Amino acid sequence: MNTRKMAVGGAFYPSDTKEIEKMFSYYNKILDKHLKDENMLKITPKAVIVPHAGYVYSAFTANVAFRVLKNSIPKRVVVIGPSHKVYIEGASIALYETYETPFGDLDIDIDLSKKLQSKFNLSFNPQAHKEHSTEVQMPFLKYYLPQVQVVEIVYGRIDPKELESIISYILNDEDSAVVISSDLSHYYDIEKANSIDGICLEAVSKLDTTLLHQGCEACGILGMEGIMLYAKEKGLKPVLLDYRTSADASGDKSAVVGYMSAAFIEE
C-alpha cells in the first residue's frame, strides 16, 4: 500500500492516540463550559480555516473548527496548506493511496486527486508532502470523521484565483468539504500581534481580500484569499470561531504566534 507516512507525529502532535484523545476531550470540555452561543456548534460548514502549529499551542482553536465540520458529514475533505520547506511553483497534490495518522490510516480519494492534478496542472512532489501545515489536520479528521476520504494539496507560489478555481471544483460536489491551513502573525509581542491579527480577522469576517493585504501576515494568506474569493462568489457567510495566541499556552507574551479558526456556511 502506497502510504503518505507521518512526518511530524511525535513533534507537532502526540503519536499516542490516548494522549491526543485526552487533549481533544479537555478542549471540548473547556469549549462547552465557556461557549456563549451554543448555536455556533450547530453550523454545517462547507469549508474551514484552521491553524497548524504544535497542538499544545493551536489545537484548541483548530478543534473548534473540526468539531463543527463534523456536522456537515462530508464524504471527502480536501486539505490545502502552504509549503514551509520546499519551494513549489503552483501546487503539489499527494498521489498516495492512504494517509497515516495515530488513529489509523485515512483513505485518500485518489480518483479526485488525479482529476484535480489533470484539470489544474498540479505536480506531485513527494518532498513537498512532508509538510506539517496539512499533516496536523489529519488526526482531527480521523478522530471526528473516521470514514472520510482525504486529499492533500500543498501550494507555493500561486495565484489565489487558481486556488479559488480548485476550491470551486471541489465544492461543486455537495459531499466534499475544504480545510484551509494557516497561522497568523509570528513573533511579535502580544499587543502588536493582536493588532496585526485583527486585520486578518476583520478581512475574513467581511470577505475583504483588499483589506487582507493591508497588514495581515498569515503564512497561509494565499489559501485564505482563495476561500474568501470563493465564499464571496457563492454567497457563503464567514463565521469566526476562535482566536488566540501562543501566549495562552506558554504565558510568554513577548514573541507570540497568532491562531484563528473560521467557518464558511450557506445562509
CA distance 207 to 229: 7
228-256 tens-digit pLDDT:
999 999 999 999 999 999 999 999 999 99
**Residue closest to 49 by CA, chosen among 196, 190, 212:** 212
Predicted pLDDT at 23? 98
Low-confidence stretches of the chain (pLDDT < 50) are none
Contacts of 53 (CB under 8 A, 6+ apart): 12, 136, 183, 246, 257, 259
* pLDDT at residue 1 in the model: 63
- Domain 11-266: CATH architecture, name and number where available: 3-Layer(aba) Sandwich (3.40)
The per-residue pLDDT for 38 is 87
The confidence score (pLDDT) of residue 267 equals 87
User: Which secondary-structure segment (H or E) carries 187?
Assistant: strand 186-188
Looking at residue 36, its pLDDT comes to 87
